[in-house]
Structure 1
Amino acid sequence: MQPTVQTLLDRQELALSLLTPAPDLPTGALAAPIAWAHSSDLADPTPFLDTGHVLLTTGTQFESDAEARESESAFAEAYVRRLRDAGIAALGFGTEVIRAGTPDALVEACGRQGLPLFEVPYRVPFIAIARLVADLLAEDAYSRQAWALAAQRAISLAALRPDGLSATLGELSNRLGAWVGLVDAAGSLDREAPDGGLEQPALGEVVGEARSMLRRGQRASRTLVAGESAGSPQRITLQTLGGGGSLRGVLAIGDSAELDQAGREVVTSVIALAGLALEQNRDLDRARGHLRTGLLRGILAGDTELAQRVAGEMWGPLPGAPFRVAVADVPAQHVDRLTELLELRVEQRGGRLFFGRDDDTVVLLLEDSDTALADEVAAEFEVPVGISDAVAADGVALAHEQALRALERARESTPGVVAFDEISRQGVLAFLARTDARAVALATLAPLAEHDAANGTALIATTRAWLEHGGQFDATAQALGVHRHTVRSRVALAERLLGRDLSGFHARADLWAALLAVD
């Protein structure tokens, strides 16, 4: 362990005497680690000192130019303030060399400013203190390196166990004496050590922050203070695993006194091992993904016998009828995360769910009662998703076609789920009008639009209302609040401008489709 001020005071061979009253010192001042011991009699030695140093002095600076100073007390006050600002751990005053005893002004200044001050007897040379500090620092460095080597060896052996990743995290937790968790690429807590070692709400905050890091898709590390709202704040360090653009998860580590340089080296080795294990898992996931894609194509072609057999052996049974098909757009940067999420959901359901890649989309076969999964995918990955009606066992191809049409509609709006029945309720004509008919529709309605703009008429609004009321003049007039002869006159003018006889069904249907297409 790194030496402290109390370590020096406890060494009987040094015979050091603490002069600063303990109640005047800040909490933990005597337990502050010492980085080095240095001697100087300069009036301002701080340019040559650093945080954690112990300064040793014989007090020459308190004797020279005494007449030029306002008082010894003022000098001592300024001297101690400079040492405190520089982060000095303690001040040692060697007596009987320049002056007898330690100056009272220095003792008082150290007491007021909370700087540990100890007296060094004449028989103890400063070099003895410096050598002791150096020896203790060397012992600490050797001890920490030995600890790091032992920890890395134990972790490497743990990685060779059947569940190497869990064993590795468990060993890291034991060595650090801290909670360790792994959030997978899907944003779920995959494993932790010890189990239940981090309680809510801190655990939820850690997982939420890990998800944010995964969504950004960039390699990063950050420190989070979790659980403040519950009055039990805990410092958690998070580090992404995997390369940028293909993150495999986030490693979370609780606060630990072992996280010095040696501890960080051990954590770095675990990050490398965990990343390697997850990369190996990704290769396996890709192989499974190719298998799923092949089975999906068979299912969509109506050949479900092979898919039933293979899926049953690897993941569990396929969804039972009635089921639905969902199709989601998945950007390349989200493919791995979505795959891991869906693999997790398959495991949770013991099968009863199937998915596979189809070009730039992911196709899901869901049981009719499991449609909430489509909402989860759309919300988590902010992508459009189309979902079919419930179909029987022989309706997979039809359901896939429905889901594709629903996906086309979903792409027109913000990310979310569009069900095919939302389209079917509007009718076939409404769907056809939403494809590539807008330009044609604008050209069709142009004569009416131009006349309305030039003359302030309402031919488009009138013909729309007239068609909505089944070509009934009285009902249209009542809805518009005008006389039925006005409606007749406007419809007749529209027929002349369009060059069409609107008394027939086909002409009316074509005009209605044009109106839908420009909405």
Structure 2
Amino acid sequence: MSPAEHPTLRSLLARNDLGLALVSPDDALPEGALDRALRWVHSSDLADPTPFLSEDLALLTTGTQFDDVDGIEGYDAYVGRLAARGVLGLGFGTEVHRTGIPEELAEACAARGMPLFVVPYRTPFIAVARAHAEAIAAQAYARRSWALDAQRALALAALRPRGLDATIAELARRFGTWAGMFDATGAPQISHPADAVARPTLESLAEHVTEVLTRGLEAGQSLTIDDASFMLFTVGRGGHLRGVIALAIDALDPEARSVVTSVIAMAGLALEQSEQLTRSRRRLHTQLLASLQTDDPALARRVLGAIPPAPVVVAIAADAPAGPLADWWERRRADDGVASFVAESADGLVMCVSSGDEALIDEAALRFGIRIGASAPESYAAFSRAHAQALAALRRQTGQGVLRYADAVGTSILGALATDEARLVAESRLAPLRDHDAATGGALELSLRTWLEHDARAEPAAAALGVHRHTLRSRIAQAGAVLGVDLSSFPARAEVWTLLQTARD
């Protein structure tokens, strides 16, 4: 991730000017024992210096505390206390208080996996501590220089075409790992390197991102998916989170975090500018929609350059997240090369697509869990009719998914007229007839329906009912009297038939 890693015990032992020598072979130590970040070097001859020590340091001693130690147990207890405190290595200064290193101490260090090294008489302990302090300072300077260089490179990347994409790619290169960007809906938008994260892992990561966005979290989060570590950083604030930047990394030092913070700021600015352009485009599309509803596509064709080839399907989504849905629709248009049009209106989000691509409408309904009304395929000369069909289908759609106009009203004009208001009128007009049947146990409504179904002919209708034709004629006359209509005229019979077809049974 950076040009200089944190100093370790291995790098300290490699200093030729200090003359330090590892007593135990490297391959006899636990894996990584010499490669953990070494915070400091301290010296002490106390029998128990642990109350005065911090974790991840190397301890230097001349061994005076071992004068009264008898047997391996005392040495093992000493090394055990150091290991429990998090000491990474023990340096023994020879020829100061005693010659050589006690064999019991070497055995205890080997048993505990504690690196033990010799500090020769010619090397003062202060020289070892100073050498390590200089290494820490050099590493800190290198990290700051890396951070400044990375920020300059990221700023230049932001000025390129598709600046946000270039910035995320530069971030991935500077950190030497995968970096990605998710939009406000949790959908992955940018991934560098493109195939560095397996699809199942990316899908699981998108689920975590969606949860972060849904809960409105702003702080960075760490998580592990399939043994891969990631950190998530939200872009935006409070109730207006614009997306999430993800890094395949388990931790960041202050310099690395400052680089990520600058990327978050640049991403937020880029997305804000993009949103302003998006809002302007949506206003333009709303005006073009009004033009299309005059059944003349000339203006839309001149402005957009390419509009969906006819015949087109018009769809209207209600109660939908207009911004995320419109963004998703525009991305599908750009990524898949689908000629389409989307605009906001008072009725909802209006989408227009060629009839051959109308599966995109079903995909939108499924992805966002919304209800959509869709028209039959129409030419641009009948765009206003298609829009009215989509709106009619939407009003009849009661659940999630797409309801197409043909499925909503069928091919019957009566089906198209069967609105809630029409049903209410029909039921009110038929109420006297139904009340009469309920009070007398009669069958006037059934007789009237059967008679009309047989084209007002008494013989076949009576046969269907199993009554005499004179009985049927008497029932029809009584039904007309109850309803207050003259059933000898065609308009009256047509109206009653419409009432019977529209009212609920």
What TM-score results when the alignment is normalised by the length of structure 1? 0.77
Cα deviation, 1:263-290, whole Å, max 9, x if unaligned, reads: 2211211121122112111111111111
Structure 1 residue 101: deviation in Å? Answer: 3.9
Q: Name the residue aligned to 1:326.
A: 315
Q: Name the residue aligned to 1:48.
A: 52
Q: Name the residue aligned to 2:409.
A: 424
> Does the C-alpha gap of structure 1 residues 55 and 349 become closer, same or farther in structure 2, counting only changes over 3 Å?
closer
| Kept in 2: contact 1:318–1:351 (CA 8 A) | no
**Residues in 2 aligned to 1:212 and 1:467: alpha-carbon distance in whole angstroms:** 60
Alignment of 1:228-377 (within 5 A): 228=226, 234-255=228-249, 259-312=252-305, 317-331=306-320, 334-348=321-335, 352-359=339-346, 361-377=348-364
User: Could you say what secondary structure the match of 1:279 adopts?
Assistant: helix
| Kept in 1: contact 2:231–2:250 (CA 8 A) | no
User: Could you say what secondary structure the match of 2:295 adopts?
Assistant: coil
Structure 1 residue 237: deviation in Å? Answer: 3.2
Deviates more, 1:185-194 or 1:293-302: 185-194
Report % sequence identity. Answer: 41
Structure 1 residue 292: deviation in Å? Answer: 0.6
**Residues in 2 aligned to 1:274 and 1:179: alpha-carbon distance in whole angstroms:** 17
**Residues in 2 aligned to 1:404 and 1:311: alpha-carbon distance in whole angstroms:** 24
> Does the C-alpha gap of structure 1 residues 132 and 345 become closer, same or farther in structure 2, counting only changes over 3 Å?
same
1:58 has 2:62 as partner: yes
**Residues in 2 aligned to 1:302 and 1:328: alpha-carbon distance in whole angstroms:** 21
Amino acid at match of 2:402: V
Q: Name the residue aligned to 2:35.
A: 31
**Residues in 1 aligned to 2:116 and 2:380: alpha-carbon distance in whole angstroms:** 85
> Does the C-alpha gap of structure 1 residues 484 and 73 become closer, same or farther in structure 2, counting only changes over 3 Å?
farther
Equivalent residue pairs, number:
481
| Kept in 1: contact 2:292–2:380 (CA 8 A) | no
> Does the C-alpha gap of structure 1 residues 152 and 445 become closer, same or farther in structure 2, counting only changes over 3 Å?
same
Cα deviation, 1:470-506, whole Å, max 9, x if unaligned, reads: 5978878xxxxxx999xx9xxx9xx99xx76999775
Amino acid at match of 2:297: T
Deviates more, 1:90-99 or 1:139-148: 90-99
Alignment of 1:445-460 (within 5 A): none
> Does the C-alpha gap of structure 1 residues 106 and 406 become closer, same or farther in structure 2, counting only changes over 3 Å?
farther
| Kept in 2: contact 1:225–1:236 (CA 8 A) | yes
Give the aligned CA root-mean-square deviation in angstroms: 4.2
User: Could you say what secondary structure the match of 1:418 adopts?
Assistant: strand
**Residues in 1 aligned to 2:114 and 2:203: alpha-carbon distance in whole angstroms:** 42
> Does the C-alpha gap of structure 1 residues 348 and 192 become closer, same or farther in structure 2, counting only changes over 3 Å?
closer
1:22 has 2:57 as partner: no
1:82 has 2:81 as partner: yes
Deviates more, 1:20-29 or 1:439-448: 439-448
Amino acid at match of 2:404: A
Q: 1:387 aligns with which of 374, 381, 394?
A: 374
> Does the C-alpha gap of structure 1 residues 142 and 348 become closer, same or farther in structure 2, counting only changes over 3 Å?
closer
Q: Name the residue aligned to 2:420.
A: 435
User: Could you say what secondary structure the match of 1:395 adopts?
Assistant: helix
**Residues in 2 aligned to 1:198 and 1:35: alpha-carbon distance in whole angstroms:** 33
1:108 has 2:97 as partner: no
**Residues in 1 aligned to 2:131 and 2:340: alpha-carbon distance in whole angstroms:** 68
Amino acid at match of 1:394: A
| Kept in 2: contact 1:186–1:340 (CA 8 A) | no
**Residues in 2 aligned to 1:117 and 1:419: alpha-carbon distance in whole angstroms:** 79
| Kept in 1: contact 2:34–2:115 (CA 8 A) | yes
| Kept in 2: contact 1:15–1:121 (CA 8 A) | yes
Q: Name the residue aligned to 1:91.
A: 90
| Kept in 2: contact 1:177–1:256 (CA 8 A) | no
User: Could you say what secondary structure the match of 1:82 adopts?
Assistant: helix
> Does the C-alpha gap of structure 1 residues 506 and 438 become closer, same or farther in structure 2, counting only changes over 3 Å?
closer
> Does the C-alpha gap of structure 1 residues 44 and 470 become closer, same or farther in structure 2, counting only changes over 3 Å?
farther
Amino acid at match of 1:180: A
Q: Name the residue aligned to 1:168.
A: 167
Amino acid at match of 2:179: V
> Does the C-alpha gap of structure 1 residues 249 and 255 become closer, same or farther in structure 2, counting only changes over 3 Å?
same
**Residues in 1 aligned to 2:391 and 2:147: alpha-carbon distance in whole angstroms:** 56
**Residues in 2 aligned to 1:439 and 1:46: alpha-carbon distance in whole angstroms:** 87
Q: Name the residue aligned to 1:515.
A: 504
**Residues in 2 aligned to 1:404 and 1:119: alpha-carbon distance in whole angstroms:** 85
Amino acid at match of 1:422: D
> Does the C-alpha gap of structure 1 residues 389 and 360 become closer, same or farther in structure 2, counting only changes over 3 Å?
closer
> Does the C-alpha gap of structure 1 residues 19 and 350 become closer, same or farther in structure 2, counting only changes over 3 Å?
closer
**Residues in 2 aligned to 1:189 and 1:148: alpha-carbon distance in whole angstroms:** 27
User: Could you say what secondary structure the match of 2:19 adopts?
Assistant: coil
**Residues in 2 aligned to 1:344 and 1:237: alpha-carbon distance in whole angstroms:** 26
Deviates more, 1:342-351 or 1:286-295: 342-351
Structure 2 portions without partners, runs of 5+: 455-460, 488-492
**Residues in 2 aligned to 1:484 and 1:43: alpha-carbon distance in whole angstroms:** 117
User: Could you say what secondary structure the match of 2:380 adopts?
Assistant: coil
1:136 has 2:135 as partner: yes
| Kept in 1: contact 2:95–2:121 (CA 8 A) | yes
**Residues in 2 aligned to 1:6 and 1:160: alpha-carbon distance in whole angstroms:** 42
**Residues in 2 aligned to 1:242 and 1:24: alpha-carbon distance in whole angstroms:** 51
Structure 1 portions without partners, runs of 5+: 477-482
Structure 1 residue 326: deviation in Å? Answer: 0.2
**Residues in 2 aligned to 1:473 and 1:463: alpha-carbon distance in whole angstroms:** 11
> Does the C-alpha gap of structure 1 residues 512 and 163 become closer, same or farther in structure 2, counting only changes over 3 Å?
closer
What TM-score results when the alignment is normalised by the length of structure 2? 0.79
**Residues in 2 aligned to 1:360 and 1:101: alpha-carbon distance in whole angstroms:** 90
User: Could you say what secondary structure the match of 1:391 adopts?
Assistant: coil
> Does the C-alpha gap of structure 1 residues 398 and 104 become closer, same or farther in structure 2, counting only changes over 3 Å?
same
**Residues in 2 aligned to 1:429 and 1:82: alpha-carbon distance in whole angstroms:** 91
User: Could you say what secondary structure the match of 1:394 adopts?
Assistant: helix
Q: Name the residue aligned to 2:457.
A: none
